[in-house]
Amino acid sequence: MTEDESQRLEYLSSNLKRRAFIYQITRDFFNKQGFLEVETPVRSPAIAPEKEITPIESEGWFLSTSPELYMKRLLAAGYDRIFQFNHCFRKGERGAYHNPEFSLLEWYRQGVNYSQMMQDTEQMVAAIAAALGTGKTLKYRDNTIDLSLPWERITVSQAFQKYAGWDPTNDPDMRRFDEDTVLKVVPNLNPHRPVFLIDYPAPMASLARLKPGNPRVAERVELFIGGLELANAYSELVNQKEQEIRFRKEIEQIKKEQNRVVPMPEKFIKAVAHLPECAGNALGMDRLVMLFCNAARIDEVMPFTVDDA
Amino acid sequence: MDISEVRKGSKIMIDGVPYNVEEAEFMKPGKGSAIYRYKLRNLVDGSSTNKTYHSGEKFTGANVNTREGQFLYREGNNFIFMNTDTFEQYTIEETLLGDKSHFLKEGTIVTTMMLEEKPLDITLPIFVELKVTKSDIATKTDTVTAQLKSATVETGYQIDVPTFIKEGDTIKVDTRTGTYVERVVTKK
């Protein structure tokens, strides 16, 4: 072990202890509510086709980019409350908030929609704050954040009209949407409160159901705290035919634009036929730990990033 | 190379101009495309600029390398150098050298940054020794106050020196600031 490495790991020890504690509280939170903790494969023959997420291949299979499809196959078989911590891999994603290997917490509930996911998230983060003794306010980087419930909810349409001057739900332009999200919208969200950004343009949520009464948007929500994108939840799409059409379209686009061949996840598509009304959330554990450790970089909450592996 | 391979310190071509990536910021909405924000240093004129790119963009790496060169002589606006490894000669124009030309005397060894076979810039030694070719005689009032006077060195560069420096002396000059450091005592 080099001197640098031993110094770095020593410096990280208080954050790593806090990380372990946060995992423990999170497990307790779900166990107490009757959730079953599950583990699903990290390496799979087919994953959800997503244009903007490049998987890492492993002998013709793919490393998990998210456990979503397996979680839904469990739901389709009758499991009604499940959660898991899953190591996920996304090629080329490295920055202050990104490491190509990271940890997602996913949980799903039968018989609810995305509103329940927002409430679960509020309760879970509040439970962690209470256990850590941080109280109702949290200091993250330059801001003091008031965690008292309920948190702010603002639609994508409102947020974009306010901070970027256009409405992506009328005229979805993906590139412009992504750039304005990171450069105009997120930096301008209330820095002193957690904010749920809700109801994304329909084409930007291939696994979510459309909002009843407003098919231009999908029931998708993202949570932002202190500039960190922490979680992404859906009211899940449970229409098999619609799901297959969306995936087929995505697969064709990936082939055409990136010359990347992605197989259709057939077993998942079959399972969607039996999927009950449900909602699920994917939360970045590394970023949640960053928030509670007041860490500016993901490197401060994991002992070995891709650069130190 | 694909944009995802560009790192801090990468040298890339943009519109035919080589840039050094001084800072690279990666931002990405979970389900969206990546945004890359770079602070770029133009390797030809030294200017700095910020640019935003999207995932999927491709760059050509700038084939920038450095080599050691010895300054031989000046010919009008051209400065002639010799590659100390291959003994091949190459020319750099005065406009490209800017103020650095003030500190080049025959035999000075510099590091030359090249884009393929085209010189872009040179790095001077931090200190160079230059001979004073002309020096004003300090007036009495000068000595009381500033204790500096103007002098010209062998490259034609004008520099402020202490009053005890005489024509024919050799002085050490800091090339980063262009200022006098000390008199060099030549042993006989």
Strand-pair partners of A62: A44, A57
Same domain for B109 and B150: no
∠ CA A296-A300-A303, rounded to 5°:
160
Number of domains chain B is built from = 3
The whole model's pTM is what?
A: 0.81
| Residue ranges of chain A whose CB lies within 8 Å of a chain B CB | 50, 52-53, 91-98, 174-175, 177-179, 181-183, 204-205, 222, 229, 232, 257-258, 282, 284
**Are residues A205 and B31, on separate chains, in Cβ contact within 8 Å?**
yes
A-chain CB neighbours of B33 within 8 Å are 52, 174-175, 178
Confidence of residue A173 (pLDDT cuts 50, 70, 90): confident
Same domain for B133 and B116: no
A191, A143 Cβ separation under 8 angstroms:
yes
Domain end call among B24, B44, B61: B61
Q: Per residue in A93-136, pLDDT tens?
A: 999 999 999 999 999 999 999 999 999 999 999 999 999 999 89
Please tell me the distance from the alpha carbon of residue B19 to that of residue A233, in angstroms, as a whole number.
41
Confidence of residue A161 (pLDDT cuts 50, 70, 90): very high
Q: Per residue in B93-130, pLDDT tens?
A: 898 888 899 999 999 999 999 888 888 889 999 999 99
| Composition of chain B by helix, strand, coil, percent to 5 | 10, 55, 35
Q: How is residue A185 annotated by DSSP?
A: I
Same domain for B138 and B103: no
- Looking up tokens 């230059």 gives B130
Domain end call among B87, B103, B123: B123
Residue B146 contacts A, CB cutoff 8 Å: no
Same domain for B131 and B106: no
Q: What is the CATH number of the domain that holds B16?
A: 2.30.30.30
Q: What is the CATH number of the domain that holds B131?
A: 2.40.50.140
A156, A196 Cβ separation under 8 angstroms:
no
Domain of B47 in residue numbering reads as 3-61
Searching chain B, which residue's CA lies closest to the CA of residue A99? B26
Q: Name the CATH superfamily for A3-300.
A: Bira Bifunctional Protein; Domain 2 (3.30.930.10)
Residue A76 has φ and ψ, to the nearest 5°, of -60, -25
Q: Of how many residues is chain A composed?
A: 309
Domains of chain A: which residue ranges?
Answer: 3-300
